Chains A and B, each alone.
Chain A
Amino acid sequence: MSKLVIISVSPGTSVQDAGRFGAQRYGLVPSGAVDRLALAAANALVGNALFAATIELGPLSSVVTARGGAVRVALTGATRPADVAGQPMAPNTSVTIADGESLNIGVARSGTFGYLAIEGGVRGELMFGSLAVNARAGLGSPYPRPLQPGDELQVATASSANEKRIDLPAAVEGPIRVVLGPQDDEFDDAKELFLGSEWKISAMSDRMGYRLEGPVIKHLHGHNTVSDGTVNGSIQVPGMGQPIVLMPDRGTTGGYPKIATVISSDLGRFGQTQPGRGFRFKAVTMAEAQAEYRATAELLQSLPGRVHDANILMLDIKALQSANVAGVAVSAMDSWTWQTQLSAEAQD
């Protein structure tokens, strides 16, 4: 056993996994990672189950130290500088922190949350099948609160596996897609204003909800509707007309009209949008939203197959050869591709 010791930590850093489900009817919200794709990618890099618990890192800098043995970790999510004892660590890769050495994680340059997966996962007591921190409910393990300097996580000692990197598809750009409803009929022209305007995420945002800055969205019948159930991505409009997008630590019910809901596939991308950066919403049909849902599920399942040894250059040699763009396409890093070419020529 090794330990990962928290030396310093960004605000908003906590242990998160996929979340806990089945008790929303009792007011217990699932919590869980804001960016599930980045969570799963980090876990895939160190051979964990895709939705195992990781450290969800807030946007500022953090330092962790391995004690009692080496610790193998992977870092995904917000892009930021990182190094182990001065050796730079590339984004979306794994690295082994030797006993006594530190991983220094810099300030996020784009995105908000980073995911630090630890080979073998985080040791803790499952509550409703999850280690995810929900500070209001006193849940989460090993600490039922955000991480603090001095905290120690019991972890596996690093294996001798090669370091990995993961080949992720290019980040999706463009507007954040929503499905209108469930209470879009509480808004009239305000719907056009909502979809036609540029929005910014307020600095007054957290894992409960992201407050939006933009035009005032007016209700048809006032804002005092009767509470009903919420989901991650519910966009509720309180009395002052500035929408709030509900995030994984939301209340399970809410009493403000909900104009639209962010589609599941865009929740992570939305959650990574930095405060102050302009973006737009776009309404899509249910069919489009659920097609995207299936595509995202396939992408998540493909992650383990996208993990490669870090020191091998990724080139799709066969594709280059069949396209015949390069005549003879080989990888300087991989002698097998030279052999293939030579044997192919011998046959001609």
Chain B
Amino acid sequence: MVAALSPPRILPSGDAAITVEFSRTIDAVANRRVLALDRLVAGDALTGVTETVPTYRSLLVHYDPLQIGFEALGDKLTELALRPLPEATATRRWRIPVVYGGENGIDLEDVAKTLNITPDEVVARHVGGDYRVAMIGFTPGWSYLSGLPGSMQISRRQNPRLLTPPGTISIGGIQTGVQCLAGPSGWHLLGRTAVRTYQLHRDPIFLLEPGDAVTFTAVNEKTFTEQDRAAEGGEFVAELMS
């Protein structure tokens, strides 16, 4: 027997968007329901829906109020959200190379001290995780991954850094992230990847999709430098495993 799904909360985000909230916390089932609803909305081509933004716990649905009202769209989204969840479907899995530590991962030593393990063990645990892209947001290509091993969870930094390098791989709370552009971050920086999750004039411009699986693999500084040069020219340095 499949347990009945609870209806999501239909919340107004102004007069032209609805937040369909499945949970208030980071929750694997909620994220699966978000991604399933996202696919249903795309597949049904709902009248008036202009774009969607899946996140850990909710789906933001932008719509045109000239075409459909809040009540009608809310009812339709509730109905779609209560359809049985599809079996976990085959999804793409990416292998993302990371150079850990040193100037590319300035917090690796501190994270090791906090967790009372060696830096090599931090890398081993991070590489050992089985990750999913839970959401992409904040800035272009910034991918939030679920699946960080429980033994790696530490709270965010007290003082967020105003500027962190492009390609930063970091951890914060129960999440790990693949950052594309330079920007502020309150997470702990473990390393860098040459993979560009967002690159203009490349096809596709955005590499990862919400729901994609990700495996990290450790590379040395020399490999990173070579891959970074190749990636700058538009080459993919992330490997599609399945």
Where the two chains meet, the residues of A that have a C-beta atom closer than 8 Å to any C-beta of B are 21-28, 127, 136-139, 179-183, 225-234, 251-254, 258, 261-264, 286, 289-290, 292-294, 297
Question: How far in angstroms is the closest Cβ of chain B from A262?
Answer: 7
Scan B21-32; emit 1 where CB is below 8 A from any A CB, else 0. Answer: 100111000000
Complex CA–CA separation, A179 to B60 (angstroms): 16
Q: Determine whether the beta carbon of B12 is less than 8 Å from that of A261.
A: yes
B53 at the interface (CB under 8 A from A): yes
The answer to whether B200 touches A227 (Cβ under 8 A) is: no
In the complex, 5 of the A-B residue pairs with CB atoms within 8 angstroms, ordered by the A residue number, are: A137-B181, A229-B58, A229-B60, A251-B139, A261-B15
**Other contacts beyond A22-B50, A27-B141, A258-B13: 10, CB < 8 A:** A26-B141, A26-B198, A179-B14, A228-B19, A229-B58, A229-B137, A231-B13, A253-B137, A289-B15, A294-B65
B124 to A: closest C-beta gap in Å: 28
Q: Which residue of B lies closest to A255 (CB)?
A: B138
Known A226-B26, A286-B15, A289-B14; judge A137-B69 contact (CB<8 A): no
B54 on interface, CB distance cutoff 8 Å: yes
Q: What is the chain B residue whose CB lies nearest that of A298?
A: B66
Chain A residues, CB < 8 A from B58:
228-229
Q: Give CA–CA (A131, B206) in the complex, Å.
A: 19
Complex: chain B residue closest to A253, CB-CB: B137
**Residue B55 is within 8 A (CB to CB) of chain A in the complex:** yes
Q: Determine the residue in chain B with the shortest Cβ distance to A251.
A: B138
Which residues of the partner chain B approach A231 to less than 8 Å between Cβ atoms?
A: 13-14, 16-17, 60, 62
Q: Is the CB of A27 within 8 A of B56?
A: no
Residue among A225, A253, A258, A262 with most chain B CB within 10 A: A253
Out of B19, B53, B198, B210, which one reaches A182, CB within 8 Å?
A: B19
Residue B102 interfacial (CB < 8 Å): no
Contact yes or no, B138 A227, CB < 8 A: yes
With both chains docked as a complex, state the minimum distance between the C-beta of B68 and any C-beta of chain A, in angstroms: 10
- With CB as the reference atom, state the residue of chain A lying closest to B71: A286
B150 at the interface (CB under 8 A from A): no
Interface centre among A27, A181, A227, A286 (most CB of B within 10 A): A27
Q: Chain A nearest CB: distance from B69 CB in Å?
A: 6
User: In the assembly, what is the distance between CA of A180 and CA of B12, in Å?
Assistant: 8
**B192–chain A nearest beta-carbon distance, Å:** 18
Asked if A228 contacts B57 (CB within 8 A), the reply is yes
Closest to A221 in B: B24
Interface of chain B residues 175 through 214 with chain A (CB within 8 A) = 180-181, 183, 198, 200, 205-206, 210
Interface string of B87-104 (1 = CB under 8 A from A): 000000000000000000
Bound complex: CA A233 to CA B86 (Å):
35
Residue ranges of B at the interface with A (Cβ–Cβ < 8 Å): 11-17, 19, 21, 24-26, 50-60, 62, 65-66, 69-70, 135-142, 144, 180-181, 183, 198, 200, 205-206, 210
- Residues from chain B with a CB closer than 8 A to the CB of A254 are 138
Q: Tell me how far the C-beta of A220 lies from the nearest C-beta in chain B, rounded to whole angstroms.
A: 12
Cβ A228 vs Cβ B15 within 8 A: no
Question: Is there an interface contact between B53 and A25, defined as CB atoms closer than 8 Å?
Answer: yes
The docked-state distance in angstroms from the alpha carbon of A137 to that of B15 is 27
Question: Do residues B13 and A27 form an inter-chain contact, with CB atoms below 8 A?
Answer: no
Q: When the two chains form their complex, are residues B12 and A182 in contact, meaning their CB atoms are under 8 A apart?
A: yes
Within the assembled complex, what's the spacing in Å between the Cα atoms of A233 and B139?
Answer: 18
| B166 nearest CB across to chain A (Å) | 11
Q: How far is the CB of A45 from chain B (nearest CB, A)?
A: 25
**CB of B204 to closest CB in A, whole Å:** 10
Q: Is the CB of B206 within 8 A of A23?
A: yes
Return chain B residues, CB-CB under 8 Å to A26.
136, 140-141, 198, 205-206
Please give me the residue from chain B that is nearest to A229 by CB atom. B60
B203 to chain A, nearest CB (A): 13
In angstroms, Cα B210 to Cα A152, docked, is 40
Tell me whether A261 and B138 are in contact in the complex, defined as CB-CB below 8 angstroms, given that A21-B50, A294-B66 are known contacts. no
Residues of B within 8 A of A182 (CB): 11-13, 19, 21
B137's partner among A180, A227, A233 (CB-CB below 8 A) is A227
A48 vs B25: C-alpha distance when bound (angstroms): 47
Chain A positions within 8 Å of B54 at CB level: 25
Bound complex: CA A297 to CA B64 (Å): 11
B183 touches A228 (CB 8 A): no
A25-B136, A228-B58, A251-B137 are contacts. A263–B200 as well, Cβ < 8 Å? Answer: no
Checking B16, B19, B51 against A293 with a beta-carbon cut-off of 8 angstroms, the contacting residue is B16
A297 to B65, CA, bound (A): 10
Given the known interface contacts A26-B206, A27-B141, the answer about A228 and B55 at a Cβ–Cβ threshold of 8 Å is yes
How far is the CB of B138 from the nearest CB of chain A, in Å? 4
Residues in chain B near residue A258, CB distance under 8 A: 13
A-B complex: 8 closest residue pairs judged by Cβ atoms: A229-B60, A253-B137, A261-B14, A182-B11, A289-B15, A229-B53, A26-B206, A251-B138
Distance (whole angstroms) from the CB of B49 to the closest CB of chain A: 12
The one of A25, A226, A232 in contact with B52, judged by C-beta atoms closer than 8 angstroms, is A25
B65 adjacent to A293 (CB under 8 Å): yes
On whether the beta carbons of B210 and A229 are closer than 8 Å, the reply is: no
